[in-house]
Amino acid sequence: MTMDSGALRARPAATRRNARTHALEIIRQKIITLELAPGTRLSENELAGQLGLSRTPIRESLILLAEEQLVFVVPQVGTLVAPILLSEIETAQFVRESLELAALSESVARATPDDIAELNAIIDAQRIADSRKTQAGFFTLDEEFHATLMGISGHGSAWRTVAQAKAHLDRARHLSLSFTGMSVLIDQHQVITDSLAAGNGDAAASAMREHLRRVFNDIAAVRQTNPELFTLDPSQ
């Protein structure tokens, strides 16, 4: 039995896409979590060695990250991690708040006791993460909480749009924890969940709006202490 030439060509192409996707996800996450801080120089050779990949998927990933304005190229220097772009934070907040509030309004009539129990289980896990001071675990659970809320509305796939839009916002959120603390955010999650369980859409929306906007107060504080991490101009 022989395999046609089209299938033979497709397999290497699929392998390249998988390698690029793998590299993109890892590098993007390192930038979002600030493991790769603004101003860090990114070496294709070093990244390829760390990820066990060739330079091609690394180079392709960096091109895609440049399109998100998460990295930029300086002639004679190389590729650097970009500062946190304030205009992108505002755009991401607009997208996130619009979609999450719209989803929440539909979730009020759709939420079941099992849905509420799932949200409370996530909150309980967040309290454990807080007690152990595991910031990475907290953020994973935070994403799960908001994605679950979106799913309750019946529009779970819209979370992909939110997640793709908020890379710069997420970088700021990681920085903001030193000012807000996990417990405040967890308590806000609880108010949202309790309001949803009570069928009080107005209270749930008010709590969600306050929760999502809190980051802007924290950003102002972070900019006072670390102004070099932010920029108004994407060309800088």
3-state secondary structure at position 157: coil
- Would you state the pLDDT for residue 14? 53
Longest dimension (CA), the chain: 68
CA distances from 186 to 141, 167, 190, 208, 210 (A): 10, 21, 6, 12, 13
126 contacts 182 by C-beta, under 8 angstroms: yes
Same fold, 5-82 and 85-231: no
DSSP symbol at 35: S
- Would you state the pLDDT for residue 5? 47
Encoded tokens for 180: 């807000």
- Options 3.50.30.30, 2.40.30.30, 2.60.120.200, 1.10.10.10; CATH of 5-82: 1.10.10.10
- Would you state the pLDDT for residue 178? 76
β-sheet bridge partners, residue 71: 81
Instruction: Determine the topology of domain 85-231 in CATH.
Output: Four Helix Bundle (Hemerythrin (Met), subunit A) (1.20.120)
- Would you state the pLDDT for residue 235? 57
Give residue limits of the domains in the chain: 5-82, 85-231
pTM of model > 0.75: yes
- Would you state the pLDDT for residue 180? 80
135 contacts 85 by C-beta, under 8 angstroms: no
Q: How far apart are CA 9 and CA 48, in angstroms?
A: 24
Predicted confidence pLDDT, tens digits, the chain (236 residues): 444 545 434 445 557 679 999 999 999 999 999 999 999 999 999 999 999 999 999 999 999 999 999 999 999 899 999 999 999 999 999 999 999 999 999 999 999 999 999 999 999 999 999 999 999 899 999 999 999 999 999 999 999 999 999 999 999 999 888 778 899 999 999 999 999 999 999 999 999 999 999 988 889 888 998 899 999 866 55
3-state secondary structure at position 170: helix
What angle do helix axes 135-152 and 158-165 make, rounded to 10 degrees? Answer: 140
- Would you state the pLDDT for residue 236? 54
